[in-house]
Structure 1
Amino acid sequence: MHMGVQWVAAHRAAMVSPYDGLSFTKPRGGFSGRTVRQVVHLHRGGPQLRVWLSNQFGSGPLRIGEARVGRHLGGGRIAEDQIRLSFGGSKSVEIVAGTEVVSDLTDFEVPDDAELAISLYVVEDSGLATNHPEALQTGYVAAGNTAADPEPGLAEEIASLYWIKGVDLRLERSGDEPVVAAFGDSLTDGSGTTPGAHQRYPDHLSRRLGLPVLNLGIGGNRLLRNGFGPAGLLRFQPDVLSVPGLTHVIIALGINDLGLPAMLGQPKTGAEEMIAGFTTLARLAREAGVAPIGATLPPYAGTTFPGYHSEKGDRIREAVNDWIRRTPEYHACLDIDAAVRDPERPSRFHPDLHCGDGLHPNDEGARAMAHAIGLDAFLTRRVSR
């Protein structure tokens, strides 16, 4: 087996614009002149890292006066072995609106299954803060430059992730080791699971595989239409196919294409449109040498979101799921529907597996989703371009 030193994506977050209406907890005092300490979870550890910062949706330049990384000990506290990041040899960086930057490679030993605290001293914010709305990790915002402080001090708590797009590790790995991305909506993002406990379905799947599974979910995201982040068809290339060494992608979108139009008074989406969209994503993946894995749409009758469910939508869901299970466009199927439905009422979530809203899995539901596919699907690719 060939071993080589390679970049491995250890963390990725799909970013959105504040205009999408999903910035849950922007701090009351804004960001300028304050330090933002945020926590990310890495499935894989290694001896060297770099951090990606994004100002993709900013309206002006984002000026970072200092950036530090340390092992998170809980409650915003960081270990003494924290390090300062540099950007082209400088401790500060200005990120032009619409762009992103990556820090210099730095030595920092990260254990497997670790939490990192990344502290950014924001000299001047970008107006609009590029963010990932539901981090499921508490962040901390404090006045002044407190990036090096081991304690968060008098800090305001936030629940969204700002500007941190990813963490890469440079380590030795075999050339045939899978690199898996989970692409989807709130079911992938982890809505309904316990914050800070790493209970999203990609977390469970990572533990099954013993490999990182990158979470590229956005709550409310749709396959065909913008809003709550760019449409899946638009963000697939920048969010997924740009991941270094990617071998497999799980495509788990579509339920919001059925439910949100009914809620928002928009034109309804048909099965043919959705199947065409899924076919496009599968073929884009294969053209990039990545094995596409389809995920069935979950049951949603009885959801507490007013107007979200309809009988017509359920018929469309069943037709799409039938196609996902049978199509040769996909390398394999993650059958979410079969894993979480109530056997007595199959159009509904099993009562023990949802968080109370009839749509999002709880921790056990996310675990069931992660077990809805055989691990052999990730051992081979069989990609025809």
Structure 2
Amino acid sequence: MKLSWRRVGASLLVTVMGAAGLVAAGPDEQVRTEGGGLVTTWGAADDIAGGTLSDMTVRNILRTSVGGKDLRIRISNANGDQPLVSDSVYVGRHDSGASVVPGSSRRLTFGGSTTVTIPPGAMAISDPLPGTVPALTSLTVSLHVVGSTGVITAHNRAMQHSYKSTSGDHAADESSTAYQTESSAWFFLNAAIVEATRDVATVATLGDSITSSVGTTIDTNRRWPDILAARYAQLPDPARLAISNEGISGNRVLGGIAKAGSAGPSALARLDKDVLTKPGVRTVLVLEGINDIYAGASTEQLIAGYRQLIARVHASGRCIVGGTLTPMGSSFVYTPEKEAIRQAVNTFIRSSGEFDGYVDFDAATRDPANPSRLAPAYDGGDGLHPNDAGNKAMGEAPDLDTLRCN
């Protein structure tokens, strides 16, 4: 089953990010957002990083999917055990490494204040930053931690370096001098939100390490959701969709709880927080289940989990599209019995009609000579995680109409 939508002609988004900041100047370069709404142009799911942070600044790097105006940043202390306090949060255009394009850094406020205190289990959204932000643009979000964090809410295995500073507030620094430590996690960063054109919405990709795209080249934005975002960026304004990547490495549909170094809470447990509360989400694309099969879930149990995801997404007034599970035949997960479960689950996704459509990631990545395995050109080395080429094939697999929920 495939969803359909109207193609409406409109001008392409043409903006520039000047040295003076994130704002695009000139009347012909403004993002057209009349009658628009808030959408999540970038997102990440909350997990837990080990250790604590104390009186230092973290610099995260994100890449927008669609452009828009009035940027807002959502900061999360969802898994924290004490208040998260920051007195300095800046956003700028990413240059290279930990450096910011000179003159592009701007301070965020929260309810008019430069200081924000986020209780354990809560999030905070910044005030809108006036001006426009282009599509497919890398931004820095730098946050100074006051005192000690306790448990750190973070997104592990981000396939993007972030940076920790030496002691003190270095959020406004545009040079990389103070940022001496690399990390592979996004710290406290949950979403980037913009006001986009009226017909633009967000697709949330709910998944595990294959959606987080473990196995791709770090700092290159070669995750399959990034490839999908780039495809939508080529379309006229009203036909575009934003992409919010809600994968967590090791995640399962049915099991898992949040703890340091964990695979995050299950998809069923985190659906509301990580997906349905993200502004503008219209479609959920779920690619998850390999870790459930590895953990011993049966076909019936996994399908029951999918049916709960379907029911809850539909009850929220949104669409849900299923992604077939990619091959695992030469990985540590594989046994003939587990492969039979994968095949049965994929048959359900393709033919049950319970999802609002499906994307055949299995067909896009399998070896024609041995369909239980990834194609050799797509194998990241462990028989389970697709490499850059495999992620490109996955990002090109969705029919763009299928993800447009009417």
Q: Same fold (TM over 0.5)?
A: yes
Q: Does 1:114 align with 2:137?
A: yes
Residues 1-385 of structure 1 correspond to what in structure 2 (within 5 A)? 3-18=34-49, 23=50, 30-79=52-101, 80-143=103-166, 144-154=168-178, 155-171=180-196, 173-174=197-198, 176-210=199-233, 211-227=241-257, 228-259=263-294, 261=295, 268-303=296-331, 305=332, 308-381=333-406
> 2:280, 2:106 → 1: CA distance?
27
Structure 2 stretches lacking a partner, 5+ long: 1-7, 9-32, 234-240, 258-262
SS of equivalent to 1:322: helix
How far residue 31 of structure 1 moved from its aligned partner, in angstroms, is: 2.1
Structure 1 stretches lacking a partner, 5+ long: 262-267
- Write out per-residue CA displacement over residues 176-221 of structure 1, whole angstroms, 9 at most, x where no aligned residue: 4342111111111111111111111111111222232110100100
TM-score, with length taken from structure 1: 0.90
> 1:131, 1:332 → 2: CA distance?
32
- Write out per-residue CA displacement over residues 252-293 of structure 1, whole angstroms, 9 at most, x where no aligned residue: 11000012x2xxxxxx21000111111111121122221111
CA contact (8 A) 1:61 1:125 kept: no
SS of equivalent to 2:264: coil
CA contact (8 A) 1:97 1:126 kept: no
How far residue 125 of structure 1 moved from its aligned partner, in angstroms, is: 2.9
CA contact (8 A) 1:140 1:152 kept: no
CA contact (8 A) 1:296 1:324 kept: yes
CA contact (8 A) 2:39 2:201 kept: no
> 1:321, 1:125 → 2: CA distance?
46
Q: Which has the higher contact order (CA 8 A, sep 6+)?
A: 2
Cα 1:52–1:125, aligned 2, differ >3 Å: closer, same or farther? farther
- Write out per-residue CA displacement over residues 128-179 of structure 1, whole angstroms, 9 at most, x where no aligned residue: 10010012211111121111111121411111111011111124x12x4342
Moved more, 238-247 or 63-72: 238-247
TM-score, with length taken from structure 2: 0.85
> 2:163, 2:232 → 1: CA distance?
32
> 1:293, 1:93 → 2: CA distance?
37
How far residue 108 of structure 1 moved from its aligned partner, in angstroms, is: 4.1
CA contact (8 A) 1:56 1:98 kept: yes
Identity between Structure 1 and Structure 2 (%): 37
How far residue 380 of structure 1 moved from its aligned partner, in angstroms, is: 4.7
CA contact (8 A) 1:339 1:369 kept: yes
How far residue 47 of structure 1 moved from its aligned partner, in angstroms, is: 2.8
CA contact (8 A) 2:39 2:281 kept: no
Counterpart residue identity of residue 36, structure 2: V
CA contact (8 A) 1:14 1:239 kept: yes
CA contact (8 A) 1:55 1:126 kept: no
SS of equivalent to 1:118: strand
- Write out per-residue CA displacement over residues 298-329 of structure 1, whole angstroms, 9 at most, x where no aligned residue: 111111x4xx2211111111111111100111
Q: How many residues align?
A: 360
Counterpart residue identity of residue 348, structure 1: R
> 2:193, 2:253 → 1: CA distance?
27
CA contact (8 A) 2:155 2:186 kept: yes
> 1:201, 1:375 → 2: CA distance?
14
> 2:134, 2:280 → 1: CA distance?
21
CA contact (8 A) 1:54 1:130 kept: yes
CA contact (8 A) 2:53 2:150 kept: no
Cα 1:105–1:177, aligned 2, differ >3 Å: closer, same or farther? closer
Counterpart residue identity of residue 369, structure 2: E
SS of equivalent to 1:73: coil
